[in-house]
């Protein structure tokens, strides 16, 4: 399921690094005793869309569009109940409208763009962390590994599927995103999935890559 949220215009400039504020709203809705907080995220949180740039941040003069997707029915219920009771976001924005969208039928070949940039990392032999970009040959395989790990956590059996990055897409770009004072090299890309339709549906709900519950890896 996907929640399609439309907000009112902001009353204050939204800072460039607003993602931490967005996460604050999301986790407020899930609650302080959210049992899913430190687990693999079976949900994905997109960024705010519909902005105009300002020298100090963003302006959403017509309101922002925000998408949250969840595979887990318990999370869906938590969000539905919480959003109804608390519609305050930040910088003066409130929820104006909310719609829910069932998981579409994708067939066995579908191409996504990103609602939030994809984060993928690996451990080097010396123990340090390497941030992968869409230009790395092992980037698609790493995304598949993470998705399979999440499917196992969700007790979902998937048959064979592949993830292909369309490297020639002109909209692909690498973006450094700072969360909790840590810079993360992430990727806005066009990504194609082929094979098991359940894998494609699952990715639409939980996102691709790491930290999808922290504003990374949302798909559209």
Tokens encoding 115: 């609602």
Q: Comparing C-alpha atoms, which of 207, 104, 101 is closest to residue 163?
A: 207
> What are the tens digits of pLDDT across the range 115-144?
999 999 999 999 999 999 999 999 999 999
pTM of the model: 0.95
Q: Please compute the mean of the pLDDT values over residues 53-80 and round it to a whole number.
A: 95
Distance CA(69)–CA(101), nearest Å, equals 9
Q: Comparing C-alpha atoms, which of 99, 101, 90, 79 is closest to residue 34?
A: 79
Average pLDDT score, the chain: 95
Identify whether the C-beta of residue 108 lies closer than 8 Å to the C-beta of residue 196: yes
In the chain, what percentage of residues exceed pLDDT 90? 92
Give the pLDDT score at 38.
53
Give the pLDDT score at 31.
86
Paired with 14 in beta bridges are 58
Distance CA(160)–CA(182), nearest Å, equals 35
Q: Comparing C-alpha atoms, which of 69, 195, 194, 217 is closest to residue 146?
A: 217
Distance CA(118)–CA(128), nearest Å, equals 20
> What are the tens digits of pLDDT across the range 163-200?
999 999 999 999 999 998 899 999 999 999 999 999 99
| 35 has pLDDT over 70 | no
Domain topology for 2-101: Alpha-Beta Plaits (3.30.70)
Give the pLDDT score at 209.
99
Q: Please compute the mean of the pLDDT values over residues 34-44 and round it to a whole number.
A: 75
Q: Do domains 2-101 and 109-214 have the same CATH topology?
A: yes
| 215 has pLDDT over 90 | yes
| 37 has pLDDT over 80 | no
Give the pLDDT score at 51.
97
Spatial CB neighbours of 104, under 8 Å, sequence gap ≥ 6 = 201, 204
| 36 has pLDDT over 70 | no
Q: Please compute the mean of the pLDDT values over residues 88-108 and round it to a whole number.
A: 98
Give the pLDDT score at 33.
63
The residue that leads in pLDDT, 32 or 200, is 200
Give the pLDDT score at 53.
87
Assigned architecture for domain 109-214: 2-Layer Sandwich (3.30)
Domain boundaries, the chain: 2-101, 109-214
Crossing angle of helices 19-30 and 73-85, in 10° steps, is 100
Give the pLDDT score at 131.
98
Identify whether the C-beta of residue 219 lies closer than 8 Å to the C-beta of residue 68: no
Q: What are the C-alpha distances in Å from 61 to residues 12, 33, 65, 83?
A: 11, 35, 12, 22
């Amino acid at each position: 399921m996907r929640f399609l949220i439309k907000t009112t215009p902001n009353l204050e400039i939204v800072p460039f690094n607003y993602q931490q504020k967005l996460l604050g709203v999301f986790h407020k809705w899930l609650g302080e005793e959210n049992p899913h907080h430190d687990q693999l995220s079976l949900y994905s949180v997109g960024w705010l869309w519909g902005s105009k740039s300002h020298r100090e941040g963003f302006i959403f003069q017509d309101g922002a569009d925000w998408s949250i997707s969840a595979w887990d029915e318990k999370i869906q219920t938590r969000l539905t109940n919480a959003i109804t009771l608390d519609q305050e976001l930040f910088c003066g924005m409130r929820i104006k409208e909310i719609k829910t969208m069932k998981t579409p039928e994708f067939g066995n070949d579908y191409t996504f763009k990103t609602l939030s940039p994809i984060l993928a990392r690996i451990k080097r032999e010396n123990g340090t962390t390497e941030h992968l970009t869409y230009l790395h040959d092992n980037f698609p395989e790493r995304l598949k590994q993470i998705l399979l790990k999440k499917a196992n956590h969700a007790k979902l059996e998937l048959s064979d599927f592949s993830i292909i990055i369309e490297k020639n897409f002109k909209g692909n770009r690498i973006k450094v995103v700072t969360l909790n004072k840590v810079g993360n090299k992430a990727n806005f890309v066009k990504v194609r999935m082929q094979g098991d339709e359940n894998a494609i549906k699952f990715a639409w709900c939980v996102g691709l890559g790491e930290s999808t519950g922290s504003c990374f890896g949302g798909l559209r």
